[in-house]
Amino acid sequence: MRNAFIRSLTALAQQDERVVLLTGDLGYKIFDEFAERFPGRFLNAGVAEANMTGVAAGLALGGLRPFTYSIVPFATLRCFEQIRNDICYNNAGVTIVGVGGGYSYGPNGPSHHGLEDIAVMRALPNMTVVCPGDPVEAELAVLASASHRGAIYLRLGRAGDPVVHLQPPQFRIGQAITLRQGTDCALISTGGMLPVAVAAADLLEAEGISSRVVSMHTVKPLDQTTLRGCCLECRAMFTLEEHSMIGGLGAAVSEWLAANDLRCRLRCFGTADRFMHCSGSQAYLRQRDGLAAEQIAAEVSSWLKEHRRC
Amino acid sequence: MDMTDLEGRARQVRARVLEMAHAGGSPHVGSALSCVDLLVGLYFSVLRIHPARPEDEARDRFILSKGHGCMAQYAVLVERGFFPASLLDEYARDGGCLSEHPSPRCVPGIELAAGSLGHGLPVGAGLALAARMRRQSYRVFVLISDAECYEGSVWEAALFAPAQRLDNLVALIDYNNWSAMSRTSPVLEPFSTKWGAFGWGVADIDGHDLPAIVSTLAGVPLEPGRPTAVIAHTTKGKGVSFMEDDLEWHYRPPNKDDLERALAEINGPTPRRSSGDRRP
């Protein structure tokens, strides 16, 4: 997703001279082309995320369209109050790009894991939260951000995320993408869990279970139309996210169900409420949290068997 | 520039601040009084602004980063004609448009949200950078408090602005030597040396000397290619003898008797020179 992001941003900068890119000293070599083509619009703001975020708010209020870039916790948590007060409170049009959602930077340890970002970004007024499911969605999300008013948190994976969409889907912020129809269950994923959702759906299909697969790339605002369809037409909904069970997609869908007095079975897959002290790759750490396709398919299958009568 | 006129404006602003604090039952009157002269100098002599066109793209940007001093800014904006004095009645009232820390564009002339310290200078640096990128000639003035300089983000911006050669950025520091609980000078000093070492053009001035305020701020940038830090030595509670340099007035709203005594001093025939002045 990282490479798709910078490719797309370079194309966007070509069309829109307001686009400015600030990085918190991350992205070695990947911004070279951008910096060469738009030298006045690329800035390494250094390891000073609070200042970078405040500067971005100032640039936006001064008529530009800044993007800030860093690894998820540094882009969001380190400078959280700058995002809240400088960007959101002033309603400044900044796109905050967090690279390394979930366990993308697995071996780097919990300091680099991005597992609370959706929760905190979602709580902010004037903030839109977009977590593309694959590089194709990432590319489209960057282009869509150009015509969006207000702040966006764009949560990316890293380099080498698998491509899910073989054809570019129609992409609109706030509008989920349904990749596969089904009625036994709805697998609603956000961010880099999309390929896992598709793989789990394949495994379930082999068992005769039909899955609706939805990429809920925008966690805020939720696509209520798509959710309502899942709720009314599927036996159960399962949310999939590489993020804490607290405050992320699963929590957002739970809140939505409760607020709308809708009855639908919902089970949330996410990361546990603890720091992952052991080292490990993204694949390994996902497995520790039960987020591998096989684990999810097995859980969904047994859950559906247990709740056959509902 | 007619300094008698500015002094009269400053007296009027101080009176309004006291009335607002009394009516709203709100704190921070000392913090507001400490920056009145700086604001009057800026708004009446330095800033290129037009009250009739508060969103003019070419306007100088003024950011009050020490948001708790906003009574002074509200009163100066009224004095300068940005909005009618009647709106001041809404200060700190249920449903009113003026809070004890400003909301962005709550009234014409308020550029930015404030209230949490350490935010104004980075945003001001961004606005100054935007001016350069968009080839605009406006300048950005950010008023910060001395205690605000304990925030790391101030020093992140202090590193950033000279590196970007933002000579259209001015940090104006209201150095009244009080945080909310302690003296600041033991922590901050040598203060101007620090700004200078970070690459800013630095001036120390008496923050209640209107001619000095005006002449210094009119001369920015003090050094070509560098942002400017003006360290204004001030007295918290300036203008009311029993409030000067007394931390209690960071918290205590003036009651009716306090207000009457304070207004009598401010509006008196010969405003007396207080002994609380500290000059560099």
Tens of pLDDT along A44-54? 999 999 999 99
Q: Spell out which residues of chain A touch residue B119, defining contact as CB-CB under 8 Å.
A: 54, 81-82, 85-86
Q: Which of A55, A68, A124 to mutate to test the interface with B (most CBs of B within 10 A)?
A: A55
pLDDT tens across B45-91, in order?
A: 999 999 999 999 999 999 999 999 999 999 999 999 999 999 999 99
Q: Which of A85, A91, A94 to mutate to test the interface with B (most CBs of B within 10 A)?
A: A85
Find the CB nearest A64 among B112, B119, B133: B133
Q: What is the pLDDT of residue B270?
A: 54
- Sort A105 into a burial class: Cβ within 10 Å, 0-12 / 13-18 / 19+: buried
Q: What is the pLDDT of residue A146?
A: 86
Find the CB nearest B153 among A50, A61, A90: A50
Q: What is the pLDDT of residue A263?
A: 86
Q: Spell out which residues of chain A touch residue B111, defining contact as CB-CB under 8 Å.
A: 61
Q: Spell out which residues of chain B touch residue A82, defining contact as CB-CB under 8 Å.
A: 119, 122, 153
pLDDT tens across B27-49, in order?
A: 999 999 999 999 999 999 999 99
Find the CB nearest B122 among A46, A55, A90: A55
Residue among A256, A26, A215 at smallest CA distance from A122: A256
Cβ distance B104 to A91 less than 8 Å, yes or no, reads: yes
Q: What is the pLDDT of residue B277?
A: 47
Residue B172, domain member (yes or no): yes
pLDDT tens across A20-52, in order?
A: 999 999 999 999 999 999 999 999 999 999 999
- Residue in B with minimal Cα distance to A55: B126
Cβ distance B116 to A91 less than 8 Å, yes or no, reads: no
ipTM: 0.94
- Residue in B with minimal Cα distance to A52: B122
Cβ distance A55 to B129 less than 8 Å, yes or no, reads: yes
Q: What is the pLDDT of residue A307?
A: 85
Cβ distance A55 to B134 less than 8 Å, yes or no, reads: no
Please, what is the Cα angle at B138 between B222 and A19, to 5 degrees?
Answer: 115
| Residue B6 predicted with pLDDT over 80 | yes
Neighbours of B107 (CB within 10 A): 20
Question: Looking at CA atoms only, how far is residue A63 from chain B in angstroms?
Answer: 7
Q: What is the CATH number of domain A2-155?
A: 3.40.50.970
| Residue A212 predicted with pLDDT over 60 | yes
Residue B278, domain member (yes or no): no
Cβ distance B133 to A59 less than 8 Å, yes or no, reads: yes
Average pLDDT over residues A197-206: 98
Supply the range of the domain harboring residue B87: 3-267
| Residue A96 predicted with pLDDT over 60 | yes
Number of domains chain B contains: 1
Q: What is the pLDDT of residue B105?
A: 87
Asked if A50 reaches chain B (Cβ–Cβ under 8 Å), the answer is yes
DSSP track, A59-127: HHHTT-EEEEEEEHHHHHTTTHHIIIIIIIITT---EEEEES-BTTTGGG-GGG-BSSHHHHHHTSTTE
Query: In which residue ranges of chain A is CATH 3.40.50.970 found?
Result: 2-155
Q: Spell out which residues of chain A touch residue B130, defining contact as CB-CB under 8 Å.
A: 58-59, 61-64
| Residue A80 predicted with pLDDT over 70 | yes
Residue B132, domain member (yes or no): yes
Q: What is the pLDDT of residue B276?
A: 47
Q: Spell out which residues of chain B touch residue A66, defining contact as CB-CB under 8 Å.
A: 126
Question: Looking at CA atoms only, how far is residue B120 from chain A in angstroms?
Answer: 8
Q: What is the pLDDT of residue A308?
A: 74
Q: Which of B59, B156, B169 to mutate to test the interface with A (most CBs of A within 10 A)?
A: B156
Residue among A291, A269, A268, A288 at smallest CA distance from A277: A288
Residue B275, domain member (yes or no): no
Helix, strand, or coil here: A299? helix
Give the confidence band of A82 by pLDDT, cuts at 50, 70, 90.
Answer: very high
Distance CA B163, CA B143 (A): 21
Cα-trace Rg, chain B: 17
Pick the CATH number of A177-306 from 1.10.420.10, 3.40.50.620, 1.20.59.10, 3.40.50.920: 3.40.50.920
pLDDT tens across B233-277, in order?
A: 999 999 999 999 999 999 999 999 999 999 999 998 654 455 444
Cβ distance B119 to A48 less than 8 Å, yes or no, reads: no
- Residue in B with minimal Cα distance to A39: B133
| Residue A242 predicted with pLDDT over 50 | yes
Phi, psi of A215 (to 5 degrees): -95, 100
Query: In which residue ranges of chain A is CATH 3.40.50.920 found?
Result: 177-306
Q: Spell out which residues of chain B touch residue A24, defining contact as CB-CB under 8 Å.
A: none
CATH label of the domain that carries residue B216: 3.40.50.970
| Residue B1 predicted with pLDDT over 90 | no
pLDDT tens across B92-150, in order?
A: 999 999 999 999 989 999 999 999 999 999 999 999 999 999 999 999 999 999 999 99
Distance CA B162, CA B226 (A): 6
Average pLDDT over residues A249-263: 95
- Identify the DSSP state of B67: G
Indicate which residues of A carry an active-site annotation.
49
Give the confidence band of A305 by pLDDT, cuts at 50, 70, 90.
Answer: very high
Residues listed for chain A: 310
Average pLDDT over residues A53-67: 98
Asked if A59 reaches chain B (Cβ–Cβ under 8 Å), the answer is yes
Residue B248, domain member (yes or no): yes
**Average pLDDT of chain B to the nearest whole number:** 95
Q: Spell out which residues of chain A touch residue B159, defining contact as CB-CB under 8 Å.
A: 46, 48, 51
Q: Spell out which residues of chain A touch residue B133, defining contact as CB-CB under 8 Å.
A: 20, 40-41, 59, 62, 64
Token pair listed for A31: 């911004």
Asked if A56 reaches chain B (Cβ–Cβ under 8 Å), the answer is yes
Asked if A58 reaches chain B (Cβ–Cβ under 8 Å), the answer is yes
Average pLDDT over residues B187-205: 98
- Sign of torsion over alpha carbons A26, A31, A34, A40: positive
Phi, psi of A130 (to 5 degrees): -120, 125
Asked if A41 reaches chain B (Cβ–Cβ under 8 Å), the answer is yes
Written as one letter, the residue type at B151 is: E
Q: What is the pLDDT of residue B2?
A: 83
